[in-house]
Amino acid sequence: MTQLIECVPNFSEGRRTEVIQAIAESIRAVAGARVLNVSSDVDHNRTVITFVGDAAAVETGAFTAIAKAADLIDLDQHQGEHPRLGATDVVPFIPIREATMEDCVAIAKRLGERVGRELNIPVYLYEAAAARPDRENLENVRRGEYEGLKEEISLNLDRKPDYGPSQVGKAGATIIGARQFLIAYNVYLNTNDVGIAKKIARAVRHSSGGLRFVKGLGLLVEGQAQVSMNLTDFTKTPLHRVVELVRREATRYGVNITRSELVGLIPQAALVEAAQWYLQLDGLSAGQILENKLTARFAPETRGAGEAADSFLNAIAAGTATPGGGAAGAYSGAMAAALVAMVGRVTVGKKKYAEVEAEMQEMITAAEKLRADLTAAVAADIEAFDAVMAAYKLPKDSDAEVTARSEAIERANHVATAVPLRVARDATSALGLAALAAEKGNANAISDAGSAANLAIASLRAAALNVRINAANVKDRDAAKFWLSEVASLEHRAADTLEAINRTINERMAS
């Protein structure tokens, strides 16, 4: 089975469809990221996007979405019922398959550091990723909302962010963390008295004496009082128990539930459990559900962890122009970075390597960024070469068309060279990290460090070959000379690094 991590970022925009679409598309553009649901609420003025992927895909997808939201959302102009701290308000990571909470915490910390450094947005860590106990609870971090944070962040040391500046721009601050699956569930009442909703929310939520694993607010939405809730562990406090308590409390005030709604997705197990309780089907199992049986019977056989790799290899072997050597080289570099990260993770936490733990953590962070960038370069290389082919197919029946075609080919070749040149740089960086892994990483993973080094060299050589081929086709010879000079310099440096890595591996294996 391939790794699957869920990310459910909440954005402070629920009314401008073009903004919501732009944010969702920024996630969809990331290789390996799959958007499952986009849920917007006009009154809350808030959108929740659910997407999944492996660690690299969700980390990159979250960063691109935060960057896009920062460009398009101005918190000084934002109003809505739901509490918020930033344009991208909260970004949780949830382990789904072949992933642990520790994996998600590591992603949250890497992402938080990058958002603070590159986007200049204050970042607070929460839930399992929290750096301080008082920040585990989301409500504590969000207290005072955006307006309060603007006044306090530079004056109150308790509001100092975990990453980024102690000042707030129009994008506000972002809260990033790791948690278990959460069900966002709202119940509407047949009254416009928001005070009743607030009283019911107080009775239901755990923080004021209600049900464990339930958070709640009373709001006025579309002219109706609403009890807005988050169920943080439905396996311990099931959905039906929450609904029945809301119903009984509503009766106290002479009102009824008119309808309810989900924000985002819900696990099937939660619905099966509710059906068991309400229908008194104590023996109901997931296997008795028709759609489950059909899926199990007729779904194609899965190929586990090799499925994505098989798909990529089949695409290369298909006889089409893309993907080709450039994409394969980028993928080789991504594998090199992934192996470096693996060596780091099998080193961290071992007493024998306590002295190098900080270096290993930094190495993992750098390797994961390279892995994400090189993975993205696979698609970028395909797109760049397709653009070159499209330029060569432009008409040339007139002098004007000949000129336009020539200019389009030149532009396309520049882009097609920029991608492998970037891969060459990243592959060289991955090689440098492999040297650190070989020197200071867990000795039991020394062959993995060596494999990473050789994959990085393969990536560099494939990228360099593509740069040279493309450089030969451009008219701007000054640019071509610059590209060729940089590639030659990278190759020379990489040769020295690989030689040093081989010496280090031989020495450590002999000791």
List residues with catalytic annotation. Answer: 82
Task: Please count the other Cβ atoms lying within 10 Å of the Cβ belonging to residue 153.
Answer: 18
Cα end-to-end span (Å), the chain: 37
Go through 372-386 and write b for each residue having 16 or more CB atoms within 10 A of its CB, e for each that does not. bbbbbbbbbbbebbe
Tokens matching residue 56: 């690299």
| Cα–Cα distance for residue pair 355/360, rounded to 1 Å | 10
Query: Which helix (DSSP H) or strand (DSSP E) does residue 34 occupy?
Result: strand 34-41
Name the nearest CA neighbour of 337 among 451, 464, 256.
Answer: 451
Name the nearest CA neighbour of 189 among 114, 106, 247.
Answer: 247
The Cα-based distances of 93 to 162, 178, 361 in angstroms read 17, 5, 19
Name every residue whose Cβ is closer than 8 Å to that of residue 441 and which is 6 or more positions away in sequence. Answer: 343, 344, 346, 347, 353, 356, 360, 449
Length of the chain equals: 511
Residue 342 DSSP SS3: helix
| Cα–Cα distance for residue pair 309/258, rounded to 1 Å | 49
Tokens 């382990």 sit on residue: 95
CA atoms within 13 A on the CB side of 404: 10
DSSP 3: -
The Cα-based distances of 421 to 353, 484, 487, 491, 504 in angstroms read 36, 9, 7, 12, 28
Task: Please count the other Cβ atoms lying within 10 Å of the Cβ belonging to residue 414.
Answer: 17
Query: Which helix (DSSP H) or strand (DSSP E) does residue 10 occupy?
Result: strand 10-11
